[in-house]
Structure 1
Amino acid sequence: MHVVAVLALDRVIPFDLATPLEVFGRVRLADGSAPYEVRVCGATPTVDAGAFQLRAPWGLDTLPAAGTIILPGCGERALPVPLKVVDLLRKAAAGGTRLASICAGAFVLAETGLLDGLRATTHWLAAAALAEQFPQVDVDPDVLYVDNGQFLTSAGAAAGLDMCLHLIRRDFGSAVAADAARLSVMPLEREGGQAQFIAPAQPAAPRGASLEPLLRWMQENNAVDLTLGDLASRAGVSIRTLNRRFRDQTGDTPLQWLLRARIRNAQHLLESTDMPVEQVAGTVGFGSPTAFRERFKRVVGNSPAAYRTAFRSRDLA
């Protein structure tokens, strides 16, 4: 039987912890047998789970004997990972154990050094912090999960479900994984390379900045085909000065700022109306539906149609 050890550290995120328990614990083979034994392990008998405390039936001595170790996210990433845990994870990996993280559990896995030189992901809100804290890790914030063979990382809790189903498919094939997906009321076909749905940052309009009136005007007129010359003329400065002020005050070029404003407007229309994609493109200022689709997918990570399917208002749907 394949032992799946779920490591519960202090401030563990309950949903991240429950995901592998539910998914692996429900798997059955064609003969009705359970191929996985799931064990919750803790560095201490009692683990702080934020809103409550839980008791871990298994200790750290389970880790080296496990076939797979799951590292759920912790609510306090600043908490140090116990050195004993880091050492045991390294020893388990040296013995061939598979290690997989859910959400901010990537910080625990990265602490071992086992992700050095590898591609990894985590929740997009934590991706920048992971890249800064562990510069030797190639952080990709735009995917659901990354499979490096022995080491896997996933984004948020829902992406952890995708990763667990992917592991089951690796171990026992698509039919067994499909049954597990149905029990979890999850689609099996979501692949790791599918983008996380990330809203582009709200275009900055710093209060009191010299560009604030121009930015407000651009937001109100972003459906118009504006050029750099138009913007510079409106601001009463040269194009060179305009570019410099934009970078200083917003971190973007004028056209990048305008693109993000248009994309946000498009997201709103896709979520709240049944307007055809071609009409959305023209309404938010794209001259061509093809260009709109290409830019939207580049910024958001999915096509306008896929975004609408995922996020449109339930009343409209």
Structure 2
Amino acid sequence: MPLRWKPQINLRWLAFAVLVIALGLGWYRDHHQAEAELARLPGELAVLTTRSEDLDRRLMTNSRLPIRDNSLTYLALRTDRWYALRNIPRFSGTAEEYLDKLKQLYEKRQKDPFQVQGESFSSFFAQIYIAPVKEFDKAIGPFMEYMHVPDASIAQEASHLIQVLLVQRGPQMQPHIPELMPHLEQCLAFPADEVRLEAIQCLKIIGTAPPETLTTLRKIAQDDLDDLAVYAVLALRELDEKYPVSTRLMELVQRRIKGWEYAGEILVDVLPSSEAQPFFQRQYAEASDDRMRQYFAQFLNDVALKEEAEPREGEADD
């Protein structure tokens, strides 16, 4: 019977080779992981530096910077000073005379927006702010028509002036709010976002809105492509108790819709700390750049400060 040759395999050498390969793969993996962590280190340090600076600023000022939404309301609250600085001429004559001259100035401005002879259009425009009560009540209705004229700059100025009047002359504006609502509805459909934003702010100040206006606001709030979605959500927070404000704000943050930074700041206030902290931690981990990480680090700081300020169990009973 012929002999057959069989290769002899040295199991020790085979085990040694497998061990060497495993060690090599492990080193390769650890090396690349270390390189990736080293590459992220500057970003992590930048975030920590920002968090430290933010804490220092808050310790010094004991306040948070207002978001744009709150800034607009602040401007309306302080507009009495702003208008005083503009030296508005004294309101003279009747409401009819004021409206006639306003119409003439508007027509001149449309013909030549850079050359309006005589009195400044903006200065005369604002005279309604200081009009006597009787003349104010006569002029305010026709004045509202300027909130949605084709000229976006005039429409924005008129809409903002209405916002100022709602804040500064609230009791006097109250009887005119039903008349104002259709104008605000038209402003919400205006092509320029500046006019739409002023209308949203007006509705937020008023605190109520008819069903058709609420429907329009909900459409804006739910539209990821609308730059004013976050502001509509904030208005609905005041106007519609059934609207899921927290859920929509979280969606805006998760999808990084324009204005998500404002949504995040509001979430710090409306979400319980037990929900806000894990939410922002997830967003921080998923952030694609250092700028986003800085925002989420700041929100996490806010949550921690809020949690520290909240009374612990037992302390509230003392």
Give the TM-score category using the shorter length.
under 0.3
What TM-score, normalized by structure 1, do the two folds share?
0.25
**Structure with higher helix content:** 2
Highest CA radius of gyration, 1 or 2?
2
**Structure with higher strand content:** 1
What TM-score, normalized by structure 2, do the two folds share?
0.25
